Structure 1
Amino acid sequence: MEKLVDALRSFGLSEYEAKVLLSLIAEGELTAKQIAELSGVPRTSVYEVVKGLMAKGLVQAGGKPMKFRALPSDELMNLFSRRLKENIEFLKRELPSVESSKREEVVRIYTGEVAINALKESIEGARREIIVATTHFDDMMKELLKNAKCKVTVMAPNVSGSLRLDVESIEGVCHGMLLIDDRAAIYLQQGNNFWLMIGSGSFARFYQEFLETFIKQKVKKG
């Protein structure tokens, strides 16, 4: 029940409103006294709570004595879905207009499932080219790249014979990253060929924050 209350609260309902709505969904039709007994909401607050639910279009009232009933669960779901979609569209439309033009986003760091979803969205949204340089081309990356809609190039030591995607492969490539005091170094190697990029300032801070966050997470879990 607590999870249902929390879910309803995420749609803007108060705790009392969520509890009253769930009681009405479960029982069908109730008087104010019955609502108080079943929901645990103080009777002195029931009428105010029901009034708020009626204003939101979630509850109806009628009869003598006055009884209250919630919309059927399928109608509630349709209503919540529609309002959620409207809110998302509103935010998409309005948030960019209030974002400061001077705001500079230095780096975003994601972890866990959020990180995988962020990468999936980036791959599916790419329109020009994706270049993958990895020390091990694993099944998860293969699965994510299946949804790419542009040219994909994969550079990895183990790419040969294991790639079942319509992409260009560059075999035997290793790469790595080093943090050296206040500098960051990134290298690519294929046999005797070696490429290196070293930078400081914001370039190094990007990778420093990224790696330090990962290391801290591993320490906590270990």
Structure 2
Amino acid sequence: MKIHLRFKERMHEMDTSGDRLISEIQDVLGLTEYEAKIYLALAVHGRMTVSEISKLSGVPRAKCYEVLSGLVLKGLVVIAGSKPTKYEPLPLKEGFENRIAQMRGEIEMKAARSKLLIEDISKLKRGDFPRREVRVMILEGHDAIVASSINDASNAREEVLIALSSAPIKFEWKFYLPKLTKALLRGAKFRFLVPSISEFIGRIRNITVGVENPQAELRSSRRLKVPFMVIDRRITYLYITDPSLGVITMAIRIVDKNFGEQVRDIFGELWKLARPYNPSGDQVSEQAY
């Protein structure tokens, strides 16, 4: 109760109702009203339980879990303890930078896709829309590449095959992997071919939390030089990397079932040669794979 009153007093000092701050947070960070209220409460007070967050923000407790998951996915909040589960905001500057980078990537992705959409609508208007067309899109810029890749993968309905190269590429998996949970809940199967199982197993477990019978498999291989991803046998991403800079410089997004099937077959062959994940912990050198 004391915490609740202190927060209300702070809000009164900053703004009579707090509506202005909440509205600005919504506009700048692209949040819903509930997300803005909870984020502001966490930003002012710090680490709290769901019960405390609900009381301070005025958001119904039943809604808090969904809203907090959204804030975690948007790189603004992290889970910071269990029994009971607590949440805390990232440092303000870091959180804002995370979210702005996501929004920038989403805008760049939409801008690139809008060109294809304009072409498709124009063709349909002229009556010459083809029955089958291979669609190729070049994506440049880390944020645009990541936003497009995660968006397609999270909308998968059947399977997602992700093959990563051994080149050291900077990629904020802790922010992006949770978005794949939506596809897992839908029943999509995931296969990850990674350079090192030990580095990824914890991250994979995180996205399967709360998913009944999650379909996610993991194997390791250091053979791969060019990372790629195949979604529902139809959408393929080929990634061009610069190991010296540790970044993805370009991606080729190809929408074509025939091509997707061929790349899927390549993934299948690599999968057979890869080292399976062994939950028992028996030590097998990953170098051999």
**TM-score bracket, shorter-length normalisation:** 0.3 to 0.5
Q: Which has the higher contact order (CA 8 A, sep 6+)?
A: 2
TM-score by length of 1: 0.41
Q: In terms of Rg, which structure is larger? A: 1
TM-score by length of 2: 0.32
